[in-house]
Amino acid sequence: MTQTDLDLHRLFNQRIVGAKLEQSEAVVRWMGAIQAQDYAQAVWAIGLRTNAAPLAHVEQAIADRKIVRTWPMRGTLHFVPPEDAKWMLQLSAARYLAMNRRREEQLGLNDAIFERSQQFFYDALKGGGRLSRPDMLNLLENAGIRTENQRGYHILWVAAQTGLICMGPLQGKQQTFVLLDEWAPDARALSREEALAELARRYFTSHGPATLKDFAWWAGLTLGDARSGLAAAGSGLVSKTVNENEYWLAGDTLESAANAPVSDPARVHLLPGFDEYLLGYTDRGVVLASDHAANITGADIMIDGGLVPTW
């Protein structure tokens, strides 16, 4: 496989060129998860991969609970399928919670405060409740739990990591929070081995060709867990060598991508900031020249698979 082949397969598998998907929720399910720390950029990333779904359709899918926004991987916000939110959280939450213990000590936070906070959140949100971020922080302040200096954000993040809350639809321009169990009641229960295999299949199918290190970084896993997931994913994944590096992708996408027209009418694309095409991999040098890296700060222009300075 050549570098050009690699670029083409990524574009095809990420649904930037070739066949698009009809529904916003189908995009999120296909991709496994979509970076969503910037809401406006994330809904654009979903719309880009559909047959011209307008913003209203994407936001309706969020309001209809067909897409969930939470912190399932790397402690970072993503859009994920509602039925997959819990097992995705469980894969890496313990690791990232442990990594943040030092920060909790610096903020004067402990398990007792988290337990009290989560009880307040549960009581306020149960039965279909929805509160904005300021309302959630006021709830804590009124209970005597200080929220300054990022304490409030960290308390919300921990509540999300433990699977209590997730984000609901926007309320005006304000983020809202809801109970995950109520917002996504049909959660799938997977063993750790099953979850690792499922995530590996989704990632390499939608993001491939990609390396084992790419997968580990994207999923917030150790290399050992990433390797286990790749092994458990089964024979559907195949490896190809590019510049002496081993890349993995779904075998059934090889022929489809190879037959996709290189002269796609949209060889130039305006990608949203934080798009999976760039941030879905630990090695971004494949699509981004080093002399452009410092200029990639917002929406990005892509020409024939390569990114050039910011739009």
Determine the 3-state secondary structure of 290 from DSSP: coil
Please count the other Cβ atoms lying within 10 Å of the Cβ belonging to residue 245: 13
Q: Quote the percentage of the chain above a pLDDT of 70.
A: 87
pTM: 0.90
Between 228 and 4, the more confident residue is: 228
- 226 Cβ contact partners less than 8 Å away, ≥ 6 residues apart: 196, 200, 212, 213, 215, 216, 219
**What percentage of the chain reaches a pLDDT higher than 90?**
77
What pLDDT was estimated at residue 310? 54
- Per-residue pLDDT reduced to its tens digit, 227-266: 999 999 988 999 999 989 999 999 988 776 656 555 454 5
pLDDT at 47: 95
Query: What is the chain's Cα-based Rg?
Result: 20
| pLDDT value at residue 40 | 93
CA dist., res. 102 & res. 243, Å (int):
40
127: alpha, beta or left? (left if phi > 0; alpha if psi -120 to 50):
left
For each of the domains in the chain, give its residue range(s) and CATH number, in order of start. 3-20+192-308 (no CATH), 24-183 (1.10.10.10)
Whether the pLDDT of residue 283 is over 90: the answer is no
Residue 148 has pLDDT above 80, yes or no: yes
Which range in 215-219, 280-284, 295-299 is most confidently predicted, on average pLDDT?
215-219
